[in-house]
């Protein structure tokens, strides 16, 4: 009876040990794996990475099994390979199949990344310096902005801030919009990288590299300079926040360091969208447009007067 209890206890201990080992391996896999993608490009890259791993594991398991069979049965290779057209055909076709299965998605991703997008919502020029980043460009309404982004010191960090990744001025962009990035450098080679978006663009002096980004989810994403550029190369963090154009604007712009938009442009954009929605609504009802058009003009005139009074346009 005692032996049975001891065996049962040992089996339970072994089971818990294996469970802990499994959890540990899953945690390590999560740490070593790619970050969860927030753009279509990064999500496709993640899927392609998993697909490549599955092919590699298939080849590894197949080669190990064949090696084990050949070791166990010493005369087997001679019997299989002698006048074996099927084997020759197999080891010719299988590598071609694997190469084509890898090359097809790879070319598709390359062309999708380099594909030309025409409807950009914003243009942002990024300049690398030793050792900080400069951002400049135009927002939705054509208003220009420009600021420098330096890493925060340890004594400036607050609860929730990331060490060596937090900056004094971070770039704020709308999500679900195409943004064109123009990246260059003023002194030496730098590299602007956002791992969450599978983005890494070299910043070369005297040359503009273009890349388009589009985030599918809002959030704050961090990166660092990925090209050795001097003694403080490790202290060039990148912080980009993608936010909803309207909902998070009031919370984000309590800090006057962010100079892309403010409440003035927020209200102005609401006014423009209001007018567009009215025009679109009555345009779809063309049969009643003649009778309602004076009403539209009066309503828009009233709104124009109210807006000019409140915001002094």
Higher pLDDT, 175 or 267: 175
Look at residue 242 in the predicted model and tell me its pLDDT.
85
| Mean per-residue pLDDT of the chain | 72
Quick one: average pLDDT of 206-225? Answer: 87
Task: Return d(Cα 220, Cα 242) in angstroms, integer.
Answer: 6
Helices then strands, each counted (H, E), the chain: 7, 10
pLDDT digits (tens, 9 = 90+) for 22-78: 555 555 555 666 777 777 788 888 888 888 888 888 889 988 888 887 777 766 655
Q: Is the pTM of this model over 0.75?
A: no
Residues in the chain: 313
pLDDT digits (tens, 9 = 90+) for 147-204: 888 988 888 778 777 788 888 888 888 888 888 889 999 888 999 998 888 888 889 9
Contact between residue 199 and residue 193 where contact means Cβ atoms under 8 Å apart: yes
131 to 15, 26, 137, 168, 274: CA distances (angstroms): 52, 37, 20, 14, 44
Q: Which of 26-30, 188-192, 210-214, 223-227 shows the lowest mean pLDDT across its residues?
A: 26-30
For residue 5, count CB atoms less than 10 angstroms from its CB and return exposed for 0-12, middle for 13-18, buried for 19 or more: exposed
pLDDT digits (tens, 9 = 90+) for 100-124: 888 888 888 777 776 666 677 788 8
């Amino acid at each position: 009876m005692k032996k049975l209890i001891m065996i049962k206890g040992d089996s339970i201990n072994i089971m818990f040990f294996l469970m802990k080992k499994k959890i540990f391996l899953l945690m390590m896999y999560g740490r070593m794996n790619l970050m969860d993608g927030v753009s279509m490009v990064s999500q496709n890259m993640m899927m392609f990475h998993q697909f490549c791993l599955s092919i590699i594991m298939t080849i590894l398991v197949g080669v190990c099994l064949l090696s084990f069979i050949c070791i166990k049965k010493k005369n087997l290779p001679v019997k299989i390979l002698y006048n074996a057209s099927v084997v020759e055909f197999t080891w010719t076709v299988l590598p071609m199949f694997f190469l084509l299965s890898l090359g097809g998605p790879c070319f598709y991703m390359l062309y999708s990344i380099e594909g030309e997008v025409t409807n950009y919502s914003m243009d942002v020029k990024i300049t690398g310096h030793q050792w900080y980043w400069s951002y400049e460009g135009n927002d939705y309404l054509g208003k220009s902005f420009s600021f420098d982004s330096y890493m925060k010191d340890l004594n400036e960090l607050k609860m929730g801030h990331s060490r060596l990744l937090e900056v004094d001025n971070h770039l704020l962009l709308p999500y679900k919009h195409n943004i064109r990035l123009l990246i260059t450098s003023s002194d030496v080679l730098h590299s602007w990288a956002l791992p969450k978006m599978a983005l890494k663009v070299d910043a070369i002096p005297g040359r503009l590299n273009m890349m388009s980004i589009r985030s599918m989810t809002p959030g704050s994403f961090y990166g660092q300079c990925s090209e050795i550029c001097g003694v403080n190369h490790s202290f060039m963090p990148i912080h980009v926040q993608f936010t909803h154009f309207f909902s998070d604007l009031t919370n984000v712009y309590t800090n006057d360091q962010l100079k892309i938009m403010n409440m003035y442009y927020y209200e102005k954009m609401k006014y423009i969208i209001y007018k567009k929605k009215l025009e679109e609504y009555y345009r779809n009802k063309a049969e009643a447009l003649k009778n309602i058009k004076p009403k539209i003009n009066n309503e828009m005139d009233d709104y124009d007067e109210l807006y000019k009074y409140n915001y002094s346009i």
